Amino acid sequence: MSVLPAGPTTRREPVVCVLIALATLAVAFVALCQGATWTTPGETLAGLLGRGDQSFVITQWRSPQVAAGVVFGIALGLAGAVFQNLTRNPLGSPDVIGLDAGAWTGALLVVAFAGGTAGQVAGGAVTTATATALVIYLLSLKQGFSGLRLIVIGIAVNAMLTAVSSWIVLRAELEVAIAGTAWSAGSLNGLDWDEVAWPFAVVGVLAAVLAGQSRALHQAALGDAVAVTTGVRLGVHRFVLVVAGVGATATVTAAAGPIVFVALAAPQIGRRLTGSAGVPLLPAALTGALLLVTADLVAQVVTRPVPLPVGVVTTAVGGLYLIWLLVKEVKR
């Protein structure tokens, strides 16, 4: 597997980031126009400004879902970049190494056995995702830390947690089992502003934390010795990265269920578009937003008027991407 240092910013990175951001805004606007019925761009703009018959539909029904696609995509892109940098491996993303499964298992436990308010579900997701990360990290420390060993152990833990989640669903009451199964696909459908307010706030804080760690991330990618001589406290730095990555993953999972493969694909696509030697955070975040809002738009259109969960689309496309990535890495 290839080593992925977080290289310095390339000359074309700012231009590519602006283009990705503009593409995300364009797709988001189309998504606002798209619903059970098509709303013209003029009506959509008027609705966003609080005018016209479609104002409530645009601002209260469609806008939270589209905004969630953008913000959650940013969170997943950042989480993927964090763990791919830590493992120095393109397979080192939360959904591959089991953090998504850990967060989902915790949320499911709370819903199935404790009723589960939004705060309790979020707490359960964060707790089990953190515990999963800790177990995987400790198991990967044998004979020194290895990113490849961490990924292999993470895949095994992912499988076990998926089995546990299936057992919980089978043991739960019918209503809980149906809701849990539907939620396990990962969906943005039906989210409102009250449901996305706290996840948006958490993602904003975590994004700011990771922005503050960006320079140290670049230095650490050059090697531990270089990082230490330039003043990077590696222990603290890695702890902050892991907490932020786990927090971003758990926040999205608690709010929308496990949305897989965005965290895997976004950092690598952003890296290739910018021509970076490593996995920079900003292109990964913007690419994650573009991927998720586009996938959700496709999910709305393919089976209209009954929308698919966005996780169905990301799984279908992401599976093909994973096969391509594995074949490419094996050839190396």
- Residue recorded with tokens 């998720």: 292
Rounded CA-CA distance 110/106 in Å is 6
Predicted local distance difference test score (pLDDT) of residue 1? 42
Phi (first) and psi of residue 222, to 5 degrees: -80, -10
Predicted local distance difference test score (pLDDT) of residue 126? 86
Query: Is position 183 within any domain?
Result: yes
Boundaries of domain holding 275: 13-331
3-state secondary structure of 39: coil
Q: In the 3-class helix/strand/coil scheme, how is 82-149 assigned residue by residue? A: HHHHHHCCCCCCHHHHCHHHHHHHHHHHHHHHHCCCHHHHHHHHHHHHHHHHHHHHHHCCCCCCCHHH
Q: Considering its fold, how many domains does the chain have in total?
A: 1
Query: Is position 285 within any domain?
Result: yes
Cα-Cα end-to-end distance for the chain: 8
Q: How far is CA 65 from the centre of its chain?
A: 15
Predicted local distance difference test score (pLDDT) of residue 4? 47
Walking along the chain (332 residues) 10 residues at a time, the average pLDDT comes out as 49 91 97 87 91 89 95 96 88 88 88 76 87 87 73 91 89 79 84 93 96 83 69 79 92 90 92 84 96 94 84 88 76 68
Q: Two tokens at 158?
A: 């992912």
Query: Is position 190 within any domain?
Result: yes
Query: Is position 1 within any domain?
Result: no
Predicted local distance difference test score (pLDDT) of residue 144? 64
Query: Is position 88 within any domain?
Result: yes
Q: Which long-range contacts (CB under 8 A, 24 or more apart) does 304-307 make?
A: 304/36, 305/36, 307/189
Whether the link from the prior residue into 307 is cis, omega within 30° of 0, is no
pTM for the complete prediction? 0.90
CATH number, domain with residue 215? 1.10.3470.10
- Residue 253: CB atoms within 10 A of its CB come to 32
3-state secondary structure of 158: helix
Predicted local distance difference test score (pLDDT) of residue 50? 87
User: 253 with 263: CB under 8 angstroms?
Assistant: no
Q: What is the signed CA dihedral for 279, 7, 275, 92, rounded to 10 degrees?
A: -20
Query: Is position 275 within any domain?
Result: yes
Query: Is position 317 within any domain?
Result: yes
Predicted local distance difference test score (pLDDT) of residue 5? 45
Query: Is position 5 within any domain?
Result: no
- Closest by Cα among 121, 260, 132, 130 to 199: 121
- Closest by Cα among 228, 325, 218, 226 to 281: 218
